[in-house]
Amino acid sequence: MTEPACTLDGIPELMQGPILRYVQRVRELGGTNTLALTFFGAIAAATFDARRHTARNVLVLATVDLPMLRRLAEDGPRWGKQGIAAPLIMTPDYITSSLDTFPLELLEIHQRHLTVFGLDYFKSLPFNDTHIRLQCERELKTLLIGMRQALLASVGREKALGTIEADVVERLMRTLRGLLWLHGHKDGFPALHTIDQLEHATQRTFPGIRQALDPEARRDWAAFQALYHDIDALRAIVDAW
């Protein structure tokens, strides 16, 4: 059987070599069980920075093959050094059956992705606004609980607060794009544009979130409090929707 064509259109030039080698290895290990490989997030947008980002990706298999994944895991350090993240593993059935339980994760892929080979399983997903709103509410509350628990675990070490903020930001941005989806913005925006649109939609500023997104900003107690209060304000807004 002829392998599906591979296209690197849209992939940053400096990542094309590593990704091509990654594609070849995935196909070698998975054979005909390997249906598609999709990259998403910063690698699929003009915002990719190899110093800060990794190339996140989804490997779609006909069936989950644990021995194949174990062999792929042995190459993990090699791909990590080349800026390629460990893949999310999905099947076509998993994707369609998860739209009600993990809509934000699938929306994140849907909004900014490049399929380098195989069928694009994320292009035309039928999202339900109710499912997205419920997960947005759940994520915001989970983030607040996590920040409180992480603060207690930091035992007063202010340096730990920066790590906590970094862990929060990625999940938070996924949630913010979900909130904008509910307001009719179906395309995923870069982080700062997302904040601009959210402030316009809610008629409120979010200085704590802006500071958390700034790689040059201070990571201290004041910044932690500002981020927490912004997320709590969003939680109250979503509760009222």
Structure tokens at 98: 């998860």
Q: Please report the pLDDT score of residue 29 as a whole number.
A: 98
Confidence class of residue 3 from pLDDT cuts 50, 70 and 90?
A: low
Please compute the mean of the pLDDT values over residues 102-118 and round it to a whole number.
97
Please choose, from the candidates 156, 147, 92, the residue with its C-alpha nearest in 3D space to the C-alpha of residue 124.
92
Q: What are phi and psi of 117, to 5 degrees?
A: -155, 155
* pLDDT at residue 163, as a whole number: 79
pLDDT band at 231 (very low <50, low <70, confident <90, very high): very high
Q: How far apart are CA 237 and CA 225, in angstroms?
A: 18
Domain ranges of the chain: 13-117, 129-240
Taking only the tens place, the pLDDT of each residue in 15-65 is 999 999 999 999 999 999 999 999 999 999 878 888 888 999 999 999 999
Structure tokens given for 222: 């004041």
Helices (H), the chain: 13-30, 66-74, 76-81, 92-97, 103-111, 129-153, 159-182, 191-202, 207-213, 221-240
Q: Which two tokens stand for residue 165?
A: 């903020």
Task: Classify domain 13-117 by CATH architecture.
Answer: 2-Layer Sandwich (3.30)
- What per-residue confidence (pLDDT) applies to 4? 65
- Where does the pLDDT of residue 219 fall: very low under 50, low under 70, confident under 90, or very high at 90 and above? confident
pLDDT at 112 over 90: yes
Give the residue carrying structure tokens 């947008």: 45
